[in-house]
A and B are shown apart, each in its own frame.
Chain A
Amino acid sequence: MPEINYVREKMPVQDPSVRVRNFNEVALGYDAETAIKEASRCLDCKKASCKDGCPVGIDIPAFIKLIKEGDFNGAIAKIKEKNSLPAICGRVCPQESQCEKNCVLAKKGEAVGIGRLERFAADYEMRREKIKLKKPATSSGRKVAIVGSGPSGLTAAADLCQMGHEVTLFEALHTPGGVLVYGIPEFRLPKNIVAREIENIKKLGVKICTNMVIGKIYTLDELLNDGYDAIFVGTGAGLPYFMDIPGENLNGVYSANEFLTRSNLMKAYLFPEHLTPIYIGKRVAVIGGGNVAMDAARTALRLGAEESFIIYRRSDKEMPARHEEVEHAHEEGVQFYFLTSPTGIEGNEQGWVKGLNCLRYELGEPDGSGRRRPVPIEGSDFFMPMDTVIMAIGQGPNPLVPHTTPDLETNRWGNIVADEASGRTSKTAVFAGGDVVTGAATVILAMGAGKKAAQAIDEYLKN
């Protein structure tokens, strides 16, 4: 029996002092030799609990075994049986709280780098330009409309297409991909990777219509009357929240959505070759502790901010951001102010941000989320001079589709009410999944929801 190796192969990364000046990808990916070494750490457990942690149900030990044997084409084919976006998932899935969390090696050391191996297989295939496509089933003659081309919509589209249905994907923006394009920065998920994955989905036969704001150009009822037999709504969490504190409309205050959309989708970091402007001051405060906050704080540094701060009202332990993202932010020089929250934004006479009035907090009893509730410390208020403030405290569901579909039930936060197992909504023939149902979550959970809904839509269409 070979010796158990508890130490994971290191991921080569761009040096922090270099990468903080560019938008190139931070993590560079394993080469073939490293991938085989890492894959060899897998114990190929009989009862592989890693599989239970995967929202789309990839046969993890099987694809890792193929990598170990050097059959990289076989590995990617195995992954693609379940996952249509492997190059994306290998990069942005929170594997540490999913598949890798269940790895037996994680009990005594480091889990197998499942995400890194998934990425390796996907990148290998892309480099080889030899994309193997599953042969679609014979045409069912049924038409499905997918609203929103983010992770849930892309997954549902790919699966439904392979089941033999005619799929049209409607996207409101000029580029498909949803949050993968407007939200997640280039340095974490290169846009050419997203474009390639979407090309593959198009090759399956999915028709993508950009510049189509469903709810405005067509309502769901109009789509159904026009010959679509079923609809999947995956419109995401596209409504930025603000804190409702004084000064939020000052110049220099952005929602994280606006800041990231300017930089990612509109490529403001390439201004003026790309004409969308972005303003970045010397000192930038990002309010929030999730992945979006990390993305904004790291983007700010790359855009030339001298100092970038994360201001979070709980402690580092409660931060919802992935550990890896927090670590990368630290390495790049992002400064963290925990147990701190702004009470107001001060502006100068011209209406520009001057700084933040903040309060210090301490942690009290656990709240509804199970995390300890932050309690303000009286008299602890202090001022932080700032030029730019970015609100990254979460996003709500985009209301355009629910507002124009009266018989589509929503909850009090505006999320579409949908059955967890099938995505079925209150409206016949309409299914929903992803952030518009769950509230802002992860790429892979949205993909899982898209997958389940595709299955349910397929059954619905057969009956």
Chain B
Amino acid sequence: MTNHILFKIQRKVVLGPKLKLMDIEAPEIAAKALPGQFIILRTDENGERIPLTIADLDREKGIITIIFQEVGRSTDDLGEMEAGECLQDFVGPLGRPSEIETFGTVVCVGGGVGVAPIYPITRAMFEAGNRVIGVIGAKTADQLILQEEMERVCHKLHVVSDDGSIGRKGLVTAPLQRILDEEKIDRVIAVGPLVMMKAVCEVTKAYGVPTIVSLNPIMVDGTGMCGGCRVAVGGETRFACVDGPEFDGHKVDWDEARQRSRMFLPQEKAARECKGGGCTCRK
């Protein structure tokens, strides 16, 4: 039991525009992690602590796979790292694992980079003997990830895109609505942008189908210490890092979650511009 301090990037794959996959050498975490859990990483000594839900793992090889979108300075920096380089810090597994049981028929919905964390959950649901229907979506065809992997662990997979460049044109809620009309669904799990998860919950609520969502709010330590990731669920404040990241989607205060996700927008913009050269961060 030695802690593994060289978190080497073993493989890097560009999945799409600003979408990247990395296999990270982290045998102790890989031995322990379960679907739904997340890790926190730092690229270098001055870096932010970035929480990312685990996209896949290989216990034998001691690998944790992460998939991320370059949405700000810290994920830009991560995206610039290459195979062979080492991350400064990599800690996990954090959060509670997904509840995996034989529920019956389960719909797994993933949107955008949210397809990455829905994949291990889908696979676990499939392996637990559920009938699994997948719904995945992206803005455009080149931003759709893990389609083949999802096909292997879904009895049926629906694909949508905003512009119709792959699958049906539209949002994930369209096929979801049809599925709910056609058959009895026992559980829905949705991971994606806040607006998508909110929309999914609005659809499933009318059918009374239990719906679980995975939140990725702003957080610092990931161990329940800072409370930055607090989210209102059923009128109670919960910490996504230790009580979540999965919650009953019908009880989440979505407007508050969206408002809290915007807390550092001006600073995030400044940090990105600072790197780009158009620096406005020094007043």
Contacts and interface: CB of A to CB of B under 8 A. Distances in A.
Contacts of A226: 1
A350 to B, nearest CB: 7
A211 B73 CA distance: 23
Interface in B1-35: 1-3, 5, 28-29, 32
A277 B91 contact: no
Contact of B237 (A242, A275, A276): A242
A263 to B, nearest CB: 11
Contact of A272 (B28, B220, B271): B271
A277 B3 contact: no
B227 A240 contact: yes
Contacts of A258: 220, 226-228
Contact of B281 (A223, A242, A272): A272
Chain B, interface size category, equals 35 or more
B220 A261 contact: yes
A217 interface: yes
B259 A276 contact: no
B2 A251 contact: no
Interface centre among B46, B74, B256, B268 (most CB of A within 10 A): B46
Given A279-B263, A279-B267, A240 B49 contact: no
Main secondary structure of the interface of A (DSSP, over half): loop
Interface string B221-232: 111111110111
A244 to B, nearest CB: 8
Interface string A120-147: 0000000000000000000000000000
Interface residues of A, number: 48
A422 interface: no
B88 interface: yes
Contact of B92 (A217, A252, A277, A279): A217
Contacts of B259: 250-251, 350-351
Contact of B225 (A210, A250, A275, A398): A398
Contacts of A276: 48-49, 220
A258 B32 CA distance: 28
B134 interface: no
B90 interface: yes
B223 A249 contact: no
Interface string A190-220: 0000000000000000000111110011100
B162 interface: no
A240 B77 CA distance: 31
A279 B265 CA distance: 10
Contacts of B2: 209
Interface in B263-283: 263-264, 267-268, 270-271, 274, 281
A218 B1 CA distance: 9
A456 interface: no
Given A217-B32, A398-B225, 6 more contacts: A174-B88, A216-B94, A240-B225, A249-B231, A275-B77, A398-B224
23 contacts: A172-B91, A174-B42, A182-B221, A182-B225, A210-B5, A211-B3, A213-B223, A216-B32, A217-B93, A223-B1, A238-B221, A238-B225, A240-B227, A242-B227, A266-B49, A275-B73, A275-B271, A276-B48, A276-B49, A277-B271, A351-B259, A351-B260, A400-B224
Please list the 4 inter-chain residue pairs (A to B) with the smallest Cβ-Cβ separation, ordered nearest first.
Answer: A277-B267, A351-B259, A209-B3, A258-B226
